[in-house]
Chains A and B, each alone.
Chain A
Amino acid sequence: MTRSDIDSAALDYAAGGGLLSRRTLLASAAAGTAAGLLQPRVARAEAEIPEWTKAAGARARGYGAPAAAESAVQRAIIEPWQDVAPAFSLSGTPHHKLRGTITPSGLHYEVHHGGRPDIDPARHHLMIHGLVERPLQFDLDALERYPMVTATHFLECAGNSLFNAIMPEPMQAGCDMLHGLVSNTEWAGIPMRVLMEEAGVKPEGKWVVAAGADGPSLARSIPMEKVMSDGMLALYQNGERIRPEQGYPMRLLLPGFEGNMNIKWLTSLWVTEAPVHTKDESGEYTEILADGSSLQFTFAMGVKSFITHPSSTMTMSGPGFYEISGLAWTGAGKVAKVEVSADGGASWAEAALAGPVLPQALTRFSLPWHWDGSPLVLMSRATDETGAVQPARADWKARYHASNFLHYNAIQPWQVTAEGAVQNVYL
């Protein structure tokens, strides 16, 4: 939205680079309505009437699909080894083409270590065994009869934003490639506690090894404390059965914990006294620190945010009014505040958060902005309810070995050039 007719000197600025007070857009929107009333546009007899307004539309259909003109809104596919190991494949949510906070199920990010299995739900079982009083198995029909809860939570791959973490020069790509391995869903399912209590966890059962029914039988050790406090056996994703990409017919949901632990196609929960050091918790999902030692069992995702509008690969449509908008989240609970800078971090203004702000869920933030056409750097910085703040990239890099690309949560700066191009930069 550009309104170059506005007197920019009279605006209510909140920080440098043209950031405006959070009330500005409401005021100018009201002014726009008033102006519209003064000059009403009346449809004239010779006005063009589009053909769809002169015909009957298509009939009802069993399952809807996005508008044909939106077919370019797709996940970005990342295949590190292409045809050598095609089953190891990822795709990122195109956040720069979406608004709101819920990720459409078909655009939820994917990380497949051994491809997406094709599971017959009638032959799928969930087993609970190990250190329990009663080893049990459940089929889908039985699970469907349990009391269910509904909760909105993000999932984020520990490797989200990996290109910013390891590329020496900033990669020029959209939010789908740069930050697409995070998505947000309304999940419905059974509290894990109910199923674990039915099996009767023995006092020495302190961990649960969860395994999927996929080819590699991906497995992770999970603290019993987490499973019992807010773990969910998720059966529904945004109201419908979980998509095959997200674990059909059932997955484990551990709010705030790295995506890899939220086992898809869940088939087994094995109660043990200690973690068993599965492959993923032995290497791939450990972080090498600057001193060469490593972190193991780094479960919760840190506080993070990025601006989706405008963002890398977009082009500004000239100077004037814009709404800066983006997403913030934290594995530690709720987002407390998001600050935005339009002068490379010299000054900051607090963005509005679209409520309700939910724990371990994506939160949309926004702030009105008047771009005067000069080059500048936009960035967002989130703080969570524990007081944790996003680090600058250099500070994040300094903690880890150069090869580490996991748990990257640094501030994302976007360079806006005088020509209006928006680019990924490191600051």
Chain B
Amino acid sequence: MSIFKLTATAALLLTAAAARAEGPGLGQPLEAADIPFYATYVKPDGTGLPAGSGTAAQGAEIYAAKCTTCHGATGSEGPVMPPVGPNDVWAKPAGSYWPYATTLFDYIRRAMPLEAPKSLSDDEAYALAAYILERNGVIDAETAMTAETLPAVKMPNHGNFLDVWAKQGATPW
């Protein structure tokens, strides 16, 4: 084998080893300011909640204007997955079944209403979360939902979930 061939082989091996370790390394730096809110999620402890507030009464007005066609006049009629329970349509109403209230704020802000997601203000998302929680009897009518009060809400079904991944990993149930 000629010297040239040996050198070429060594170079190839080196390149392959570098690629295995790191790939070609073509990622560009990502600045915090370029990360949109929906690339994160509000955590159960409230990390990620923005400033703002909203009450159930304020939420009722927004709900009546933007949510009834799919979720029903008061949130328990449907036809689509009514968030207020108990109801005859959906066994897992968001406002009573979900383990954490923070998910309500985040989901409404990123995904609802279905045809115009990300159109609600933070105050509106707080108010709608408050309305749904109040209609489920989880909070009273007076308490405004904020970055402090929302994560403190104790959801009634919290603690009623078995974490299958923690118990048995990737073994199917």
Contact = CB atoms under 8 A, between A and B. Distances in A.
A302 B173 contact: yes
B26 A142 contact: yes
A268 B39 contact: yes
Given A136-B30, A292-B160, A129 B25 contact: no
B65 interface: no
Contacts of B35: 127, 129, 135, 268
Interface stretch (B5-13, B127-135, B142-150, B162-170): B162-170
Given A282-B98, A386-B171, A84 B117 contact: no
A62 interface: no
A239 to B, nearest CB: 23
A127 to B, nearest CB: 6
Interface of B: 19, 21-32, 34-35, 38-44, 69-70, 79-81, 91-92, 94, 97-100, 102-103, 106-107, 110-112, 114-115, 117-118, 157, 160-166, 169-173
Q: Is the interface of B mostly helix, strand, loop or mixed?
A: loop
B40 A216 contact: no
A134 B30 CA distance: 8
Nearest to A302: B172
A331 B173 CA distance: 11
Contacts of B161: 286, 293-296
A303 interface: yes
Contacts of B19: 147
Q: How large is the interface on A (under 10, 10 to 19, 20 to 34, 35 or more residues)?
A: 35 or more
Contacts, number: 194
A277 B23 contact: no
A217 B38 contact: yes
A173 interface: no
A426 interface: no
Nearest to A139: B28
21 contacts: A84-B69, A84-B80, A128-B27, A130-B40, A135-B32, A137-B34, A138-B26, A143-B26, A145-B26, A146-B26, A195-B27, A197-B22, A198-B23, A215-B114, A218-B111, A257-B170, A287-B173, A288-B92, A293-B161, A300-B172, A330-B172
Nearest to B42: A276
Contacts of B23: 146-147, 190, 194-195, 197-198
A352 interface: no
Nearest to A220: B41
